Amino acid sequence: MKLLEKVVLGAKTLKNAIVMAPMTRSRASIAGVVQDLTVLYYTQRASAGLIITEAINISEQATGSPFTPGLYNHEQIEAWKKVTASVHTKGGVIYAQLWHTGRVGHSVDKNGILPVAPSSIGIQGQQHYTSQGMKDYETPRELPNSEIKQIIKEYGQAAKNAVEAGFDGVELHAAFGYLPNQFLSESANKRNDEYGGSIANRNRFVLEVMQELVNVAGNEKVGIKLSPTIYYNNIENSDPQAQFKPLIEALNELPLAYVHLMNGMFPLDHLPHYQKNVMETFGRVSTHLVIANAGYTKESGEAELDKGIAKLISFGSPFVANPDLPERFVQNAELNQPDPATMYGGGEKGYTDYPSLEN
């Protein structure tokens, strides 16, 4: 079974082709510090070939939701050291996913300060989870050029902090409608400067961030997550292939560890021009190792690896409920089902109390 075969990722040899996908769990303190339960949570899942953490805020401004972790101060870094050390003790490999939410946030959890974005365009038709319940999105403040440059440097500092915290690498969260994805989107980016107006300009922010991350973390220690055909959070493009193909081709010129691609996830009936097969359309463009994500089972993941485009498959909710997911694949054992009610926030229930085969 290809899912159980070793895979070389940069300087690391992964024990299998099974990746724990990044998943927000909202178990950090209000100050963005991960707790001892988080150490246990990731250690329980260290049999994955690669763990990619939940999204981690690169700065206070980057924070969009309460109880999500950060990596921008000493206390946060020290807390993550416990996670990486414990995972490494179990022979695991762990990357930190770096996060700036952009307009996907609300001022009630940002000390009254509005979220920021490439353009002053708010998200319509959705609400945001806040510490005061669900709220309509606000109109974000448009970032000036100088502040964009500052955020790029903050990504670099977060990568430096990740290295200090013991992570094996970092992943840029450039998917699912967060700040880098907002720059890539015609619907969210109406700028007419060097960061907007043309496809090349909309790609510029992501490429400059990736160069910064490589400069700090090193060659073959940086990945990126992209979602070319996901329109959640009001992200749309008139031609995703025209937008993302040049981006991936430009990423080919950087010494990256991987490109992590999300399948569509949502119905595309109202967007007939969107490509239905993400791996065929975009995965084949990448000369880097490809991780395929979203909606895979053991069987469909194995089938994806058989096609030869993706070398790793990342699993989300199956890893929530099955800390020993690789072993369950080995034994063809029944999977625990995740409890949606305990997915976000809370304590050990629905977090570290899912049974393994041993208990």
Q: Which residues are catalytic?
A: 178
The rounded Cα 59 to chain-centroid distance in angstroms is: 16
- To which H or E segment does residue 150 belong? helix 145-164
Q: How far apart are CA 330 and CA 251, in angstroms?
A: 35
Q: Return the SS3 of 169.
A: strand
Q: Return the SS3 of 127.
A: strand
Of 53, 18, 54, 42, the closest CA to residue 90 belongs to 42
Q: How far apart are CA 61 and CA 63, in angstroms?
A: 6
Q: Quick one: CA torsion of 131, 66, 224, 296, rounded to 10 degrees?
A: -60
Of 300, 335, 299, 305, the closest CA to residue 319 belongs to 335
Q: Return the SS3 of 246.
A: helix
